[in-house]
Structure 1
């Protein structure tokens, strides 16, 4: 299937809104994970305590539990999707302000609880964003719309990580979180200006229907357990390697927060290049070859951090490692989003997308404390080599299920995956 013309994409109001909304989706994730980790490292918390803080991301794993509520209940303003988008976006903004006011000095437990609340609101925002994106975009637009969304999302991650690290060195952590809360607030304007969804759908008549029908459809499929394991394992090695990456750069190698921030900023261009390369390759290769190839690239990028651990405090090795990780991560994310889209039934996108993406978040959320113990037992170089090994089962499973993945998408989904 031919890709949607780029000129029409640039002039398309529906796709144009994917960029700011994707940005709003990605910003809170970094501020409750890697950037929070850097803040805790700078104030002197031990590695095991920092590992526990990765549990802050638990709502991203459990968001499928309340996704049916957001499908069932319609706010009294802006409709079922945009109404919830407005409420949750305001909540995330206020939560980031609360994190800034709480601070990490001597009150780490209160900061952790506030971060959990922000993660809950952010996960809820993601649920509605995913449903809105599917309802808004026409079938021919969904692939490019998802690609634009991913670029906005990744750009936000870099702003909230590299930008925050550099800013924190100049104005302090609490002021940095206040600035980023202000940036998050600008997304409210995008929600208010965003167009109404193309496909409004009919809300479920009851909560039982909202919960039961999507699950029955999903688990009626053959090989569903293997498909769920693929979702769980595909990004696992990447998640383990990233779980303590900032602590490795700052605490393990002795780089300053500004050093790390500047290098991650350079990684922005690598991310955009990786997303572009991934989109072009997927249009030619298709979903399954892209999953396998990009998964291998992701796995191999973890070995760069093994080399960095051996090299020590080398700015050249740090830059190369981050650039390679961003390129391969952008490609792998594009393939992974296409995979989840291909597995969703359009009638139940909100709940099924939340369920499947929650499985991916398991590795990111629960890998922190075990990773800290593993680093203590074997050291940084061996830890990243183990993360490389953990990435391989997901690649193998994608290849094993190639026939099932190729037969699953309908005509629209094939076009989405090709376009992405």
Structure 2
């Protein structure tokens, strides 16, 4: 029993690492490669759209629920397949020069993001099915550990490896190394990950599911075109913004209207096309007590936290005036490890507190921790002395010169990352508990898409507000954004507490 538990938790760490590794390879690392290749800022900005599959993965997650892969099982098979295809895509993009082969490069970048989002959908379902209720807390923490370590490697160490003063590797060489890593992950997934008990898969019409998926994708594309070609010109003409700030408010209105069009259009199309697995998965979820309120909680729980950190880098650099090296060391080396520590601490505390009390305590801490950024905005740097980090060379990471770190910055970053890490661990355990095994890929993809509302869509509003009301008031508003989530959480205390209890079904072995 103990060995089986340790085996499950170890696999969660390893698969969490494999899940987090490709994220920066279609984001920050790719932007670094494009910048060093001499591409314009406009081109690089356009290529940030390759990350859209992460937001829309719930559209094809039902296919992962519906279709089995021969020999390897529904969950493990999809994970290994996406990892192997990621290895091929990363190796392929390493053979291209973005300066002269931008079209193929962009196409492979989109493919990498699509495969990475698909791996996430399959792995999220596998993790939700694998861990019993009493292991979700530690599982969520260890998943965060693996995921964040992967982000350190692909989103941090990769930049050091290509630095002429450190690793002096080329970007293609780095990407080939990550391709081999993903291939190893695929082998490990098949060889070492535990088989799941056999669970019933959705018995919907396979052909209808494929047609429904294609119809929903077409509907989303039509909604985007409608927003760009009709709604955006109409809003700009109606509001006639005379200042750059006014134009940003108009852009925000266009974004909200676009979401109001695309969401209902996609839902209507799914019903008309009878996309069985998607509709059945959603209906199965909505049949649970308080399901709609739980969806609202998913959006609201980390909204205040996401709002406060959405513009953290420009705030620290220009709003307070810290140096880039100071911010980099504080956030990447100091803050990220504290975030991992917060996630592990959150998992341990959940074992004693239970899911509801942990969610409530960590939600309050997330909101209160934003007062640290308000204090920095009001008081500025230099209020608590400073410490000096000497130069170091640890082979895989290097600091060329000693760096001064403001004491107030360290304190605020420490509190924010510890509280945010604990909240993340509890939130992930909460989403796992909401998923039903038959539709766990569909449901977790939907829940994680809703959870990304704060991370992805709050940025435009945050930017407009920060320019309009100033940094101190901005961070006070971020605390207000955390209040609705706390109130809704309290109102849902009974159904959330019930999620800690096992469902009582014991399927036959696979």
Normalising to structure 1: TM-score of the pair?
Answer: 0.80
Conserved? CA contact 2:51–2:113, under 8 Å = yes
Please state how far the C-alpha of 1:92 moved relative to its aligned partner: 3.2
Aligned partner of residue 315 in structure 1, secondary structure: strand
**Aligned equivalent of 2:498:** 407
Please state if 1:274 is matched with 2:274.
no
The CA distance in 1 between the partners of 2:472 and 2:44, in whole Å, is: 19
- How far did 1:271 drift? 2.7
Q: Judging by fraction of residues, say which structure has more helix.
A: 1
Q: Does 1:212 align with 2:279?
A: yes
In 2, the alpha carbon distance for the partners of 1:152 and 1:167 equals 21
Greater Cα offset, 142-151 or 346-355: 142-151
CA distance in 2 between counterparts of 1:62 and 1:333 reads 21
Aligned to 2:212: none
Residue 201 of structure 1 and its aligned partner are, at CA, apart by 1.7
Q: How many angstroms does 1:199 deviate by?
A: 1.3
1:198 aligns with 2:196: yes
| 1:58-69 alignment runs, 5 A limit | 58-69=52-63
- Per-residue CA deviations over 1:21-61 (Å, capped at 9, x if unaligned) read 01111223344456667788998987x99888775543233
Query: 1:120 matched to which residue of 2?
Result: 114
Q: How far did 1:85 drift?
A: 1.1
Equivalent residue runs for 1:200-349 within 5 Å: 200-206=198-204, 207=209, 208-249=275-316, 253=321, 255-256=323-324, 260-261=328-329, 263-309=331-377, 311-312=380-381, 315-316=405-406, 317-349=408-440
Give secondary structure in 2 for the equivalent of 1:158: helix
Residue deviations 1:251-289 (CA, integer Å, cap 9, x gap): 764633685156422334423431232123222222222
* Native 8 Å contact 1:232 1:362 kept in 2: yes
Per the alignment, in what secondary structure is the counterpart of residue 199 of structure 1?
coil
Distance 1:378 1:254 in 2: 21
Q: What does the per-residue CA deviation read over 1:37-88, in whole Å, with 9 as the maximum and x for residues that have no partner? A: 7788998987x99888775543233222111101122234522222211221
Distance 2:346 2:60 in 1: 33
Q: Distance in 1 between matches of 2:366 and 2:299?
A: 15
Q: Does the alignment pair 1:362 with 2:472? A: no
Q: What's the CA shift string for 1:116-163, capped at 9, x where partnerless?
A: 433322111011112222344456544433332222122223333443
Q: Give the aligned partner of residue 174 of structure 1.
A: 171
The DSSP-based 3-state class of the residue aligned with 1:367 is helix
Q: In the aligned structure 2, how far is the partner of 1:261 from the partner of 1:35?
A: 18
> Which of 1 and 2 has greater Rg?
2
Secondary structure of 2:14's partner? helix
Unaligned 5+ residue runs, structure 1? Answer: 414-420
Q: 1:84 touches 1:125 (CA, 8 Å); kept in 2?
A: yes
Normalising by structure 2, what TM-score? 0.67
Q: Distance in 2 between matches of 1:362 and 1:151?
A: 23
Whole-angstrom CA distance in 1 between matches of 2:277 and 2:317: 46
SS at match of 1:12: helix
RMSD: 3.8
How far the C-alpha of 1:411 sits from its partner, in A, is 2.7
- Whether 1:149 and 2:146 are equivalent positions in the alignment is no
Q: Highest relative contact order (Cα 8 Å, sep 6+), 1 or 2?
A: 1
CA contact (8 A) 2:297 2:489 kept: yes
Q: Which moved more, 1:121-130 or 1:30-39?
A: 30-39
Q: For the Cα contact (< 8 Å) 1:34–1:246, is it kept in 2?
A: no
Distance of aligned partners of 1:297 and 1:138 in 2 relative to their CA distance in 1, 3 Å threshold: closer
1:13 aligned partner: 7
CA distance in 2, matches of 1:331, 1:94: 36
In 1, distance between residues paired with 2:180 and 2:19?
Answer: 15
Q: Work out the CA distance in 1 between the residues paired with 2:311 and 2:93.
A: 21
1:388 to 479, 489, 496: 479
Q: CA deviation at 1:113?
A: 6.3
